[in-house]
Structure 1
């Protein structure tokens, strides 16, 4: 669903979700916002869940892979950790992600407990490719790049979804118990785990 037309429909769905939340957004609302008939939307997506899956894939996988490294650039563990943290920060500040967390968090549960979504697959593939580059240059520990990437994504879920549960609200930003401090600790742990 990457055509310009489909992107316009996904944009309309995004606008509606940001305005009224997922539960109150319908395919009819999306059609109205996009200026097309309901049947046009129904031909592309049979229901809101399918449309939402495409929207999440476009939005969140795009954030996580937004700044690809130059070809041939063999990353260090610290660079990979920095890229992962940057992707988590981008996701946490994304308005659609924030809206889903605030209003419709149960939507994310299948992707945490039952199955991988397309967004997760794209992220794992991109991360495995970076790990492979680092391994080939001797900068990243050996091991199955797919397994390492999946493990990093699993560890990242907690930081992306619930870092606020482990912070101390009154901690100064430089404190180890602030969000900034916990993110820095996560980056250090990740870099250490990927070191040869």
Structure 2
């Protein structure tokens, strides 16, 4: 991940000592540090610029300097808001995932209690939306190493957002008596672990014998089996 942590700072004679920021960048551009709502507008502009840059160049060639240029924001402001590229990427992916999850939350409004089948269907729809999303697809196509830390070292905010949504649905189903007993967040994370392979490696399992729909059907059955109430109360408890 060293390449992700790297900050591109082009050196010149008028660079402010110790900052990697050209003195001329301190004025004449919008600042992410401005007060709201200007600050939020500048932040959104920076994230929009980062998204466009990643789609155009891939993450390896995306620099904070290029993001600042595209956003019309001073480099000093970019470095203050995001000290390194990894932080910026985290905020960008979180915003993208939150938008996709927002659609599912809106669809859940006013619906009946979540059953294992509905939770499985919602997860299937979410994974389909992630596969269709141009930003996530671009990351997996050009820079798959970006996701490795979130599979082997730590959870990311995107994973926590999905687990939170699943946990809410699971708790709702438990109150209605249609989802097995257990700590909702633990069950949600188990579902998320089940989904990881389908989200990231499904393409390696698709061929003339198995298509995406077959795998999605299998995922739904696996999630239903994980969440369905068991016959023995002791086995379904924590």
Q: Would the TM-score normalized by the shorter structure come out above 0.5? A: yes
Pairing 1:59–2:96 present: yes
1:61/1:120 contact within 8 Å kept: no
Q: Distance in 2 between matches of 1:156 and 1:141?
A: 19
Decide whether the 8 Å contact of 2:113 with 2:172 is kept in 1.
yes
Count of residues in Structure 1 that have an aligned counterpart in Structure 2: 190
Partners of 2:111 and 2:129 in 1: how far apart?
25
- Aligned with 1:24 (options 47, 61, 64): 61
Larger radius of gyration: 2
1:189 equivalent in alignment to 2:222: yes
Counterpart-to-counterpart distance in 2, 1:189 and 1:151: 11
**Alignment partner, residue 174 of structure 1:** none
Q: Distance in 2 between matches of 1:87 and 1:72?
A: 17
Deviation at 1:165, TM superposition (A): 1.2
Instruction: Please report how far the alpha carbon of residue 11 of structure 1 lies from its aligned counterpart in structure 2 after TM superposition.
Output: 0.7
Residue among 134, 144, 152 paired with 1:113: 152
Aligned mates of 1:57, 1:99 — CA distance in 2: 15
| Distance in 2 of aligned mates of 1:156 and 1:111 | 13
Deviation at 1:60, TM superposition (A): 2.0
TM-score by length of 1: 0.92
1:146 is matched with which residue: 179, 182, 185?
185
Greater RCO, CA 8 A, separation 6+: 1
Q: How do 1:3-18 and structure 2 match up within 5 A? A: 3-18=40-55
* TM-score (ref. length: structure 2): 0.76
Structure 1 residues 165 and 114: alpha-carbon distance in aligned structure 2, compared to 1, 3 A threshold: same
CA distance in 2, matches of 1:19, 1:187: 35
Contact 1:152 1:190 in 2 (8 A): yes
Query: 2:16 maps to what in 1?
Result: none
Which stretches of structure 1, 4 residues or longer, exceed 4 Å deviation after superposition?
none
Q: C-alpha distance in 2, partners of 1:129/1:96?
A: 27
